[in-house]
A = this chain, B = another copy of it.
Amino acid sequence: MAATLNIPIDRSSPVPLYHQVVQGIEGMIRNGALEPGSKLENEIELAAQLNLSRPTMRKAMDELVRSGLLVRKRGVGTQVVASQVRRHLELSSLFDDLARGGKKPTTRVLSFRHGPAEAEVADTLQLPAGVGVYHFTRLRAVDSKPLALMENWVRDDIAELTEGGLREHGMYQILRDAGVNFRLANQRIGAAVADERQAELLEVARGSALVTMERTAVDDAGRRVETGRHVYRADSYSFEMTLVQR
């Protein structure tokens, strides 16, 4: 039995129609109205039900297929894959992640410098001549349990950073508020063992396992805005993601 959709479409909303459909189907999957494995009506029929054109319907389903919620097979139909799809790794900060999870992250700024960049950093960020960097290290804790030790370099010609601001807000939020639109980031995840200093700050034994992450973020103008090296307590943090075959 093929499932039909019951999604309110508001044509006067600024939200694109195809995105309303995406949200609608996502909602139906999460609340169980569409069970994993169930088959959807065909695209033409669904489009007709919602009074949309097929390309619009298809664009919505494209997104859902890409995010891994639906599976299409030519000549057969479209199926719900799983209700338990973790969101793809996002281009967001640890601070935002924690805050969304209802936690109250606190930040201690361990060091804060502003000046010319070392050669390696200037190279990584592809800094133009004369542009300096903010260089700072932070310790992030949740419920007074230390979680991450973060070292970052941010070019100084885009936004003004202050030690106080970093204590109160996530770095990404500050940069976004300053008009930076992040577009992509290159990221590398690995592992290391805690040295003396890391162990003390993160309140773990020396030699404990740490998750390491290096990231360089690029904004919509193609500028490399930020690069950083983070280490996380392995007993409290890991990276989850859903990979989708294309």
Contacts and interface: CB of A to CB of B under 8 A. Distances in A.
A11 interface: no
A79 interface: yes
Contacts of A193: 193, 207-209
A186 B222 contact: no
Interface residues of A, number: 49
Copies of this chain in the oligomer: 2
A75 to B, nearest CB: 13
A190 B181 CA distance: 29
A187 interface: yes
Interface centre among A36, A68, A184 (most CB of B within 10 A): A184
A183 interface: yes
A158 interface: no
Given A89-B243, A184-B244, A242-B184, A82 B189 contact: no
Contact of A239 (B188, B220, B242): B188
Contact of A185 (B84, B189, B242): B242
Contact of A86 (B89, B186, B207): B186
A44 interface: no
A90 interface: yes
A234 interface: yes
Contacts of A81: 183-184, 218, 222
Given A192-B209, A193-B207, A193-B208, A240 B82 contact: no
A61 to B, nearest CB: 14
A211 B66 CA distance: 27
A210 interface: yes
A188 B90 CA distance: 14
A61 B224 CA distance: 22
A182 interface: yes
A118 B220 CA distance: 49
Contacts of A243: 89-91, 184-185, 187
A236 to B, nearest CB: 10
Interface in A223-246: 234, 237-245
B182 A211 contact: no
Nearest to A37: B222
A185 B89 CA distance: 13
